[in-house]
Each structure stands twice: as C-alpha cells, then as structure tokens.
Structure 1
Amino acid sequence: MELYDGGVTQPRGFSAIGICAGIKKDRKDMAMIMSSQPCTLAGTFTQNIVKASPVVWDKNIVHEYKIAQACVMNSGVANACTGKQGDDYCLATAQAAADALDLRPEQVLLASTGVIGRQLPIEKICEGVKTMSGMLSDSRQAAMSAAEAIMTTDTKRKEIAVTFELAGKEVTIGGMTKGAGMIHPNMGTMLCFLTTDAAISADMAQKALLSCVQDSFNMISVDGDQSTNDTCVLLANALAGNPEITQEGEDYEIFRSALELVTKNLARRMAADGEGAHALFEVTVTGASSKEQAVVLAKSVIESSLVKTAIAGHDANWGRIICAMGYSGAVFDTEKVDLTFSSRAGSVKIAENSVDTGYSEELATKILSEDEITAIIDIHEGKEMATAWGCDLTHEYISINADYRS
C-alpha cells in the first residue's frame, strides 16, 4: 500500500476537468468531478455555525440521500452569508449540472471557496457547468486541472492516490484538496474530494471518513481561523468489484488504513502550503497517558503564534513550546518534558526533564532552517501519542491577507 502521484480520476469510472469560467482573471476557477455510476457518499463539514450555502446543500445530500454522482466546484466566491439568493444559486447550479449530465439535482454536490459575502456570478457558473460537462476526462491531466481550479491562495496543487487489495480485487482511492489560509483544527478553509472504486456502504464510508479526518484534517492549523465553507466528501462507485464492506472487519480496516494514508498526506501538504509559509512544522507528542491528552498538547503547540514565529526565525526558543503546552488545558508533569528538534539537517535534544540541555545554538538553527521541521515532545506518562501539523508564521501571511480582496 503506497501513495503515488495521482488524483481523483485514478479510481475506475471517475472523470474530471477544471476550466477558467471567468470568475477570476486568467485563472482556472471551476471544476467538476463525475462518476459513471452512482456513488455511496460520506461527508464532513465545517463546525463554524455560519455555514455557506453549498455546505448546507451538501450536508442535506449526505444525510438524507447518501448517494451522489457529480461534484461542481468554484473558487473566487464563497457563496457564504448570501441569504436566500445564495441558496437559490445552489439549486440553479445543481439543476444546470443535472441537465447537462442527465442526473437529478440531488445527485450533484456543490462546493465554493473565496470571498465571503459576495453573490455567485450565476450566469458564468451555469455556462461553466455546461462547458465542463463536454470536457470531462479520466486522464491524469484532467485531474490536475480540477485540482488547480479549486485553489485560492494555494501555491501548489494537492493531490495523491493509493492502490491496494480488498478480497483479491485491486482498489484505488484518489484525492485532491485545497487550503492554505483560514485553517484551524476541526477542519479549515478546505475543500477535499476523495474518490474510490471500492464497494462500501454509506454508513461504513462515513465511519471511515470521520475516523481518518480526526487524525488528519482536524490536526492541522495555519492561522487559527475556522472557515464557513469546509467540505470533505468521499464518493465510492463500487467498480472495483470487491464484496461490499457493510461492517467492521479486515476489509474495513484495510480500506480505512488506505484512506488514512491519503488524508494524512493531503493534510501535511495543506499545512506546508500555509499562506506565506516557508516551513512545515510537525509536532509529535509521545508518552501520553491518553490519546486525548496527546492531541490537546500537540494542537496547542502548532496553534501558538509565538511558537510559529520562532520557527519562522529558525530560533530554538523552546520555552514557548512548554508555555503553549501549559495553557492547553491538558494536565501533565511540567518537570518531565523532553523536547527534540529534527529535520533533514539532523537532530538535537533541546530540553530534558524540562531543563535546557546546553545544546548547540548553531546546530539548532541549522536544523530549524530546513523546510520541514519536527518537534518531538515526550511527557513520560504512558504509551499514547498524537501528531499535528502547522507551519511558520511569516510577514508574507500578513501581506497575503491584507490584500486578499484586492
């Protein structure tokens, strides 16, 4: 079971496309994913009580229908805080896709990302849907174009695929996501689309997705802001021909493990591409007495602005990490914390039993100057652990967000 360069068209029966529909200037801004067969469906969404119209639309499909066959996405306009007109535009978009693809509107998922408070340019959206319906392809290039079309302040496409066996059948999961800012645990301003040719019931797909999201997308933070538009959906069309997964067991665990590989990879890519980021910052808490304790501590460290600015300055200011752990709400022995920094440049133990080790500042700076940095925190209480992902906080973050609408 290995990850490889691939996207949402990698599983059997899926096609996609991304185009420039004129929502943004000279950039791809609309995408479509289509399955040749109806798909069982799972999804999870923002926990912000202010929810964009497409989030409300998709939640209804996931919970009421549990089946879909196509997704239509746009970037540039979030369709959030847009009132009844925003809801009406969701229906208009889904109806346009249904007409073009010979589906029913409730078989079409929707997703938007961009500026909050603006109405969708619905004529461009509907025209874009019509154009994309005639361009769908199962090629690698088509998947790449779709991944590009959902980007906002992202600097890189985020795609991955994995192939594995279920009951002697080859099964594939492909995925794409976007997200660089307004990212905070409990999902961030992310759109994530996962496709698979596995046969799995909607209930088991939902169980697997929620399990994987807990240890991936819910463990990343860029800036502490939680979006109105977070959407993560999984579509399964059963074309691999494996016996349908309808309960927990060996096949379910294999599928869940493959899905977790995909979601963790995409989550790391999102954190690494945080707005203005120069480095991915990974924090692993070990030796915890419970998983919950480890999760709370790891999240608190990656969310700390002081820690993030220290990473940006390649400064081994480890007191900021201990401080962030202390206000996390988790209880731990404050005199038994070991802290190690590592990267491709090496490894250095910074603190032992919460006391400075007399480490080399020169070596620490060298290690912290890489583009991927890990902090390993051992609290010596038990066998549980958790990993969270964030990034450094730089001047560029302010520049990007100060000028976002202009």
Structure 2
Amino acid sequence: MIHDIQYIEGSVAAPLGFKAAGVKARIRYNKKDLALIVSEVPAAAAGVFTTNKVKAAPVVLSARHIADGRAQAVVVNSGCANACTGEDGMTMAVEMAREAAGYLGINAEDVVVASTGVIGEKLPMDKIKAGISEAASVLSSDGGHDAALAIMTTDTVPKEVLIKLEIGGSVVTIGGIAKGSGMIMPNMATMLAFVTTDAAITPQLLRKSVTYAAERTFNMVTVDGDTSTNDSLIVLANGLAGHSIIEQEDENFFIFRDALERVCKALAMMIARDGEGATKLIEVEVRNAPAFADARKVAMAVANSNLVKTAVFGEDANWGRIICAAGYSGADIDPERIDIFIGDEKMAENGAPLNFSEDRAKEILGCKEVKITLDLHHGSEKATAWTCDFSFDYVKINASYRS
C-alpha cells in the first residue's frame, strides 16, 4: 500500500510527548556514549531481539520488561556490550533500569535497557550512573540527534529518520535511530534500533507491525554474516497524536504498519551503507519467487557472499558468483530460468551467459550504489536485501577492534 508519507528532519524525540538525550559518560572513549529516550506517558511497546543463543543481559532483561506490552523509557550505552559477563551482567542491567527509573519517577520495569560495544567486559557502573544522571537532566525534544550519536560504535555517521503521515484525520509522526556497522546479520531486527511514535495502537497490533517490518527490513541486512549478542529493535507508541486507537486490522492499521516499515527500511539501508570499510551500498532484489521465504533465502545468500561482495569492491562483473549463491541458498529455484542483472545490464538469461558490455558493467559497479537483480521466473513473490562491498578496510577495522 502506498500512502502520503513525508520525510522530515528529526528522529526519536520529534513525536509528541517524547524527549531524548545523549551525553559523554566516557565509558570507553571521549565521545557521547549514553542515551536516554523517554515518553511523558506510558506507551505501548514491542520489540524483537537477537536469535543468537548467547544473549547479552540487557536483551534478556528488556524482553522481560516489554512482555506486558508497555514501557516508558529506554537507556542505552555504547562502548561495552555487557555480554558474557555472568551474573554481574544481569545485576548491572537491572541497576541501569533502576537508576534511570529513579531519575524519571517511573517503575524500573517500564525501562528498556540496551548496550553495545566490546563483548566480555563489565560495565563501569560509576560512569554509567553519572551518565544517566546527566542525561536525565538534559532531556529535550531536540535531543534525538545526540541520542543517535551516543549509540554509535564503529559507525561513521549517525542513523536517523523521521516521517509524517495522517491516520484517522490526525497528523502522526514516527521517528527512529539505529546503530550498526559490523557484526551485522540480525536474524531478528537490527544491531540496535529505537523507534518512537505518537500513534495510538494496541500492544498486540504494535507487536504484529514490528514483526512484519523487521522481517522485511532489518532482517534483510547483512554486512558480514555475524549475528550479534545484543541485537534489539524497540518501538514505543504513546498515542498522543489524538486519533482513535488502532485495535483491529483495518485501513488505519495497514497505514501504520506500512509507515513503520518505511522507517525501518530507511534505517536498515543506512546500516548497510555504513558497513565497516564499505565503499558501496549493494541492493539485491529477487523477483518472481514461489514464496517470500524463497526470495529471502536467495537475496540473503547473494548479499552474504564474500565472493560477490569482493567482486563488487573490485568492480568485476562476475555474475557466476551470484548464481552460485542462489544455488546454495536452499530456496526453491530452477537454475535454467534465472535471469541476472547488474544495474540495467543483463548478464545472464535462463541461467546462461549473454554477450553483455564489460565496460558498461564496470561503470555500474563503479557507482556508490549497486543493484543486483535476480528474476527467478518461478512464482510472483519478491524480497530485497541490503549489504555493502568487502574492502581492505573491513579487515583493518576488525583486526584491532578492542584497541
């Protein structure tokens, strides 16, 4: 469904009733590294989290805190993941929630906690507590950008989006921030993403919308094929826009769901574009598959292929690597029906080579954004994945991540 959606400047503090802050707690570096996002009233809450069996304490705690479909605040730190830290990890996550709740005058169970950074190190709680205190004192409706800066690790740019639309005669805004550059293949949602909205929707339908959006956006992003221990997508909807609450799957529900998907897609593409060492954004579109699951498998197999990613970096139109990835994806495909395009240049038809222009293909691969298309001619479903090329700098960054 296509709706009248406007992209405007701002992010998570822009929807009615939300404030945010990002401050320097100096957890690991001298940068903004602690963020607070708060709704002035309790909000419907939904989230999806990493499927990695090794889950960080904040993930476990936050899943517990939003189980009732309600939350009012999010506290996030970068610089330390608080993952694989034993019983102390949960103690520290609980302490973060309690500390934020105390300054905000709300229940600790209504605070979502998230952490990102190095695995296997404990949080410096004295710095965390000081950061929470400072963030609570500078909360602002203009604080979304600072919050986006505070959740970054190896990201080179903050990731923010804000859209405006109409639901039930009322203006509704949806804002989001995300971080992610490496250890990216979510299998849930994203590395860390936080979305706020003043839309009014039941927790059940919010959860359904979040799951739908994540499956088609964040779950279609990969940088390096690694699923983090801390991946979390949290959405808060406080209902202050003024329209009647969405409590059934009617037109307003689909308008909201599709708008949420737009926000998630924008953030997901920013993450892929900002992959560690990336020089190009790669979009992989799979058309005419027998089922969405098959389209997704093919798209993700191609996007995850290091051979495809290095070929794009080297501007080599090696379409054989693309069809190879489709073949091992596990999807229902007929290799003799597959057409492959790089940009608008058709490389292969019915699984066989065409006499394409190498010069034109190299020109396409030299662009900052490269689109790969596979037409399976085997159904009517489609899916799109986003990734980045694999450059020399990716190895350099990850060879010295802890230093």
TM-score by length of 1: 0.97
Unaligned runs of 5+ in 2: none
CA contact (8 A) 1:189 1:226 kept: no
1:134 and 2:131 aligned: no
Matching of residues 113-128 of structure 1 within 5 Å = 113-128=116-131
| 1:284-331 residue CA offsets vs partner (Å, 9 max, x unmatched) | 011212211111111110011111110110110000001001111113
The residue type paired with residue 234 of structure 2 is V
CA contact (8 A) 1:279 1:372 kept: yes
Partner of 2:339: 338
1:5 and 2:6 aligned: no
1:363 and 2:360 aligned: yes
Distance in 1 separating the partners of 2:306 and 2:60: 32
| 1:175-199 residue CA offsets vs partner (Å, 9 max, x unmatched) | 0000011111414761100000011
Shift of 1:2: 2.5
Distance in 2 separating the partners of 1:236 and 1:289: 35
Matching of residues 225-244 of structure 1 within 5 Å = 225-244=226-245
The residue type paired with residue 27 of structure 1 is K
Partner of 2:52: 48
Partner of 2:152: 151
1:112 and 2:115 aligned: yes
| 1:194-239 residue CA offsets vs partner (Å, 9 max, x unmatched) | 0000111111100000000000000111101110000100001110
Distance in 2 separating the partners of 1:5 and 1:340: 35
Matching of residues 224-373 of structure 1 within 5 Å = 224-342=225-343, 347-373=344-370
1:27 and 2:31 aligned: yes
User: Matched residue of 2:225: which SS?
Assistant: coil
Distance in 2 separating the partners of 1:401 and 1:40: 38
User: Matched residue of 2:337: which SS?
Assistant: coil
Partner of 2:106: 103
Partner of 1:74: 77
Partner of 2:389: 392
The residue type paired with residue 306 of structure 1 is L
Distance in 1 separating the partners of 2:191 and 2:220: 13
1:375 and 2:372 aligned: yes
The residue type paired with residue 130 of structure 1 is S
Partner of 1:210: 211
User: Matched residue of 1:284: which SS?
Assistant: strand
Q: Percent identity?
A: 49
User: Matched residue of 2:335: which SS?
Assistant: coil
Partner of 1:92: 95
CA contact (8 A) 1:181 1:223 kept: yes
Unaligned runs of 5+ in 1: none
Distance in 1 separating the partners of 2:121 and 2:290: 47
Distance in 1 separating the partners of 2:8 and 2:265: 14
User: Matched residue of 1:335: which SS?
Assistant: helix
Query: Which deviates more, 3-12 or 225-234?
Result: 3-12
| 1:235-284 residue CA offsets vs partner (Å, 9 max, x unmatched) | 01110011111111111000001001000111111111111010111010
Distance in 1 separating the partners of 2:248 and 2:47: 18
Shift of 1:336: 1.5
Distance in 1 separating the partners of 2:268 and 2:158: 13
Distance in 2 separating the partners of 1:217 and 1:189: 5
The residue type paired with residue 168 of structure 2 is A
Distance in 1 separating the partners of 2:9 and 2:368: 21
Distance in 2 separating the partners of 1:94 and 1:355: 58
CA contact (8 A) 2:190 2:218 kept: no
Distance in 1 separating the partners of 2:186 and 2:82: 22
Partner of 2:398: 401
The residue type paired with residue 56 of structure 2 is A
Distance in 2 separating the partners of 1:215 and 1:382: 18
TM-score by length of 2: 0.97
| 1:329-365 residue CA offsets vs partner (Å, 9 max, x unmatched) | 11311112111111xxxx2111112222111111111
Distance in 2 separating the partners of 1:76 and 1:185: 19
Shift of 1:93: 1.2
User: Matched residue of 1:281: which SS?
Assistant: strand
User: Matched residue of 1:148: which SS?
Assistant: helix
CA contact (8 A) 2:45 2:237 kept: yes
1:38 and 2:42 aligned: yes
The residue type paired with residue 83 of structure 1 is G
Distance in 2 separating the partners of 1:122 and 1:304: 40
Structure 1 residue ranges (4+ consecutive) displaced by more than 2 angstroms after TM superposition = 2-5
User: Matched residue of 1:339: which SS?
Assistant: strand
User: Matched residue of 2:336: which SS?
Assistant: coil
Distance in 2 separating the partners of 1:335 and 1:51: 42
Shift of 1:90: 1.2
The residue type paired with residue 63 of structure 2 is K
Distance in 1 separating the partners of 2:361 and 2:312: 11
Distance in 1 separating the partners of 2:391 and 2:129: 39
Partner of 2:22: 18
Aligned residues: 399
